[in-house]
């Protein structure tokens, strides 16, 4: 089968109806070949919408020249190329490789809408390197699964249509088609682990065992299969351990085997979008956070968040910006978008009163515009149905709101008087039964 036929079959399999094809276009030989294949596919499928995105890292003196060249190649093939400039945050202590990768995918995600497919140029030799890097880190089956041919990415899908193709086949195609491509000088720098494997290790492995890359790819698929089976078997049990806020009940885990408990903890964190902990971190999580003394306030920090314990449950709190100073005037006839992905607020008229609803208000007592804040300091309220007023700090404690959510819960004010705290209560002076405050998280 020709490389184009292989590519077209992959795209036909992965592309959702109405979706676009978005190419991650570095200008290297792999993505340069993908651009050519994509151009051929677009000519054969005029209904397909294609675009390419070039990420300008600013790490090389040649970065501007590379960006111009990528735009030129896109123009020649009839595919628009968008250039995204990114700034790397190297203060976190992470490697340049990881920082660049995270920033690159973050920028690409902005271009992938529902049903879109992001195409990247990883191939069979890349899979071998990824497997060896996971082996160096001491990864388990999930890490050794290496790269999947497709996976969810943002609102769309990430596809690797060349993942079962050898690097030599891609280079042969480029030469046969007379394609030019960019050579990043850093790709020869063996101080970077992947380059060290590419130039010093994998050639020797392939010289000794010519089919090692296909054997490793098979091992990665088997690891991925085992991982999927474990997830399938244990997802129902995890669901039973979770509360409505994603908190993980600790008590039932105590009687589980260490192996099953560790997998459930990893699966829980994976579903929370957390960076998966190492074996040592997982042990610390269980012994020093889950099993800490009842009066302790334990926590475990991970690269993108922390794990806390509250009322016998574990919670993952992703890193976020402080919103305690955020203040906004809201016209209650409209929808209010909250900062930091905290959802939206709406006031809806009540057609039929639900006996379970507790966030109902009086339209007559509700001002046409209110303030929305997140800082409870200095505020008091008298929740409907309770005796006496209390400080919000005390009320948050009584309502069982974890400390890390007390400045991420929207508060409605009228002239500094509390109208309601979203999701918790309505003040007695504003309570009614003709409209309802909805916090859609």
Lookup result for tokens 């004010």: 413
Lookup result for tokens 């190419």: 23
DSSP-assigned beta bridge partners for residue 51:
22
Could you give the CA distance from residue 42 to residue 46 in angstroms, rounded to a whole number? 6
Are 376 and 418 contacting, i.e. CB atoms less than 8 angstroms apart?
no
Residue 180: how many CB atoms within 10 A of its CB?
10
Structure tokens at 286: 């269980």
Tell whether 28 is in a known binding site: yes
Tell whether 26 is in a known binding site: yes
Tell whether 29 is in a known binding site: yes
Are 123 and 33 contacting, i.e. CB atoms less than 8 angstroms apart?
no
Are 435 and 360 contacting, i.e. CB atoms less than 8 angstroms apart?
yes
Structure tokens at 129: 């390197």
Could you give the CA distance from residue 3 to residue 81 in angstroms, rounded to a whole number? 23
Tell whether 2 is in a known binding site: no
Q: How far is CA 211 from CA 126, 143, 194, 203, 321, in A?
A: 14, 22, 20, 12, 49
Closest Cα partner for 344 from 435, 418, 245, 438?
Answer: 438
Give kind and range of the element (H or E) at residue 171: helix 167-176
Tell whether 31 is in a known binding site: yes
Annotated binding site: 26-31
Q: Which residues are annotated as a binding site for ATP?
A: 26-31
């Amino acid at each position: 089968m020709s490389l184009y036929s292989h590519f077209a079959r992959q795209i036909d399999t992965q592309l959702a109806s109405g979706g676009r094809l978005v190419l991650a276009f570095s200008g290297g030989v792999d993505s340069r070949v993908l651009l050519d294949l994509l151009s051929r596919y677009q000519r054969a499928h005029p209904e397909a919408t294609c675009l390419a995105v070039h990420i300008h890292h600013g790490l090389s003196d040649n970065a501007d020249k590379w960006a111009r060249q990528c735009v030129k190649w896109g123009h020649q093939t009839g595919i628009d190329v968008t250039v995204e400039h990114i700034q790397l945050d190297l203060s976190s202590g992470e490697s340049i490789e990881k920082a660049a990768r995270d920033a690159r995918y973050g920028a690409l995600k902005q271009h992938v809408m529902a049903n879109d497919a992001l195409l990247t140029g990883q191939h069979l030799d890349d899979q071998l390197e990824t497997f060896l890097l996971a082996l160096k880190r001491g990864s388990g089956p999930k890490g050794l699964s290496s790269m999947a041919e497709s996976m969810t990415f943002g609102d769309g899908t990430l596809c690797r249509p060349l993942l079962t193709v050898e690097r030599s086949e891609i280079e042969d195609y480029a030469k046969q088609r007379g394609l030019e491509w960019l050579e990043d000088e850093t790709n020869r720098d063996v101080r970077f682990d992947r380059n060290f494997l590419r130039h010093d290790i994998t050639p020797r492995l392939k010289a000794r065992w010519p089919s090692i890359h296909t054997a490793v790819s098979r091992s990665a698929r088997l690891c991925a299969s085992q991982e999927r089976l474990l997830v399938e078997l244990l997802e129902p049990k995890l669901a039973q351990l979770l509360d409505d806020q994603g908190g993980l009940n600790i008590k039932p885990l105590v009687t589980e085997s260490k192996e099953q408990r560790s997998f459930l903890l990893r699966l829980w964190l994976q579903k929370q979008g957390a960076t998966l902990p190492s074996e040592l971190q997982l042990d610390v999580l269980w012994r020093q956070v889950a099993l800490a003394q009842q009066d302790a306030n334990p926590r475990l920090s991970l690269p993108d968040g922390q794990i806390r314990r509250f009322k016998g449950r574990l919670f993952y709190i992703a890193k976020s910006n402080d919103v305690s100073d955020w203040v906004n005037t809201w016209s209650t006839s409209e929808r209010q978008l909250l900062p930091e992905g905290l959802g939206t607020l709406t006031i809806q008229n009540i057609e039929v009163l639900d006996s379970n609803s507790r966030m109902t208000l009086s339209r007559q007592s509700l001002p046409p515009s209110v303030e929305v804040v997140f800082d409870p300091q200095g505020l008091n309220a008298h929740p409907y149905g309770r005796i006496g007023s209390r400080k919000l700090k005390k009320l948050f404690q009584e309502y069982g709101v974890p400390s890390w959510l007390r400045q991420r819960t929207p508060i409605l004010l009228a002239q500094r008087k509390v109208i309601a705290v979203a999701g918790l209560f309505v003040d007695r002076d504003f309570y009614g039964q003709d409209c309802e405050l909805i916090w859609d998280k």
